[in-house]
Structure formats: structure tokens, C-alpha cells
A = this chain, B = another copy of it.
Amino acid sequence: MSGESTQVRDREATSGRILAAARTLFAEHGYERVTVRMIASEAGANVALINRYFESKARLFAHVLVGESAMRSVIEGDPEGLPRRLAAHMAHRLSAGASDPIVRVIDRAGTSPEIRAVLRDRVESALTEPLRRHLPGPNARERAMLATSIILGGGSLRRVLGPESLREADPGFLEERLTAIFTACLAGPADGARTPAP
């Protein structure tokens, strides 16, 4: 194998920096407002390398989008505690400034037709479908979509009202309310109108 000494010319390292820069910038400003020159500058790479390694800006966005998301581990687990896990995760995101990059990228992606398909697929595969699989009873898909819309709504609120908008809210209060909200849309028909409290 070739030496792993300090390489200045390293395709993997460079494309990795490009990908990381794209992830950060797309999450911050959205797909449309981020230029390939911004990404290249942030990554310390030449603009042409983006098209060489990722073919186009849209394909680079697709690579960013399929990155790992913290939502997977939140959704998996016992369905009983799913509403509370979602609520805790989202309350934490709303309270802290930071948030799941993937969800932010989705929220700020915009309406460009060249990324619409991959965007929809990612929301399906990362949120709606995993949620649906963990829901017993009828109307599982509709309930999963309601929960998806609430998750996305948190991102929209943050985008519009700013990251500080819910910083001063009591995290415990948020978690309790969100638990009730997620319970209301996720619960099966038997306990659909029941309170989540023990």
C-alpha cells in the first residue's frame, strides 16, 4: 500500500473537506444561496474539483443529504417510548443552538427542481418510513407523516424566528408538551385520545 505520510495531493482528503464544507454551508444557508465557490473556499480546494469529484452541485448536495442522521437511533427502540424520545431530541435541539444537520439541510433546501427528488427520498427514508415501520395499527403512514411535519416544523420555526427564539424556554416544559404532541399523532387508535402520562 502507498505510504500514509503527510500527503499534499490526496483525493480522499480533499473530497472529504469539500463534503464537510458543503454540509456546513448547506445547513447554514440552504442549497440555493450556497455557491460552489463558497464551498471550495471553505474547503481550501479549487472550484473545478467539486465538479470533478461530485459531478455537479446537485449531486454534491445529494451526497451531503445521505449522511448519517441522529434521528435513526431516536426512532429505533421500543414504540412505547417513541414519543418521548422524539420530544426529548427535539426539545434539546430547540433549546440548544445546534441541531441535527440533516434536518436543517432539509428545511433550508428550498425548491430547486434539480434536488426535489433526492430531497423527498431522503425525508421518506430518514423520517417517514422508519416512523411508519415502528407504528402498529391503521393509518400508520398518515401518523408518520404528521410526526414528520412536526419535526420539520421545528426547523422552519428556527429558520424564520431565529435560533434564539426558544432558547429561554424551559426545556422540561418543551419536552413535556412535545411528548404530548407526538403522542397525539403517533398513538394507535385504541389510545389515540389518551394522555401519555403514566
Contacts and interface: CB of A to CB of B under 8 A. Distances in A.
A166 B153 contact: no
Contacts of A79: none
A174 B139 CA distance: 10
Contact of A156 (B153, B162, B166, B176): B153
Determine chain A's interface SS by DSSP, over half rule: helix
Interface in A119-172: 119-120, 123-124, 128, 139, 142-143, 145-146, 148-157, 159-162, 165-166, 169-170
A183 interface: yes
Contact of A184 (B143, B145, B159, B181): B181
On chain A, which size bracket covers the interface?
Answer: 35 or more
A83 to B, nearest CB: 10
Q: Which 3 A-B pairs have the closest CB atoms?
A: A153-B153, A180-B184, A149-B157
A69 to B, nearest CB: 15
Nearest to A160: B123
A30 interface: yes
Contact of A150 (B143, B150, B165): B150
25 contacts: A32-B33, A32-B110, A33-B110, A110-B110, A119-B160, A123-B160, A128-B161, A139-B170, A142-B166, A142-B170, A143-B177, A145-B161, A146-B174, A146-B177, A146-B181, A149-B157, A150-B181, A151-B153, A153-B156, A177-B192, A180-B193, A181-B181, A181-B185, A193-B197, A195-B195
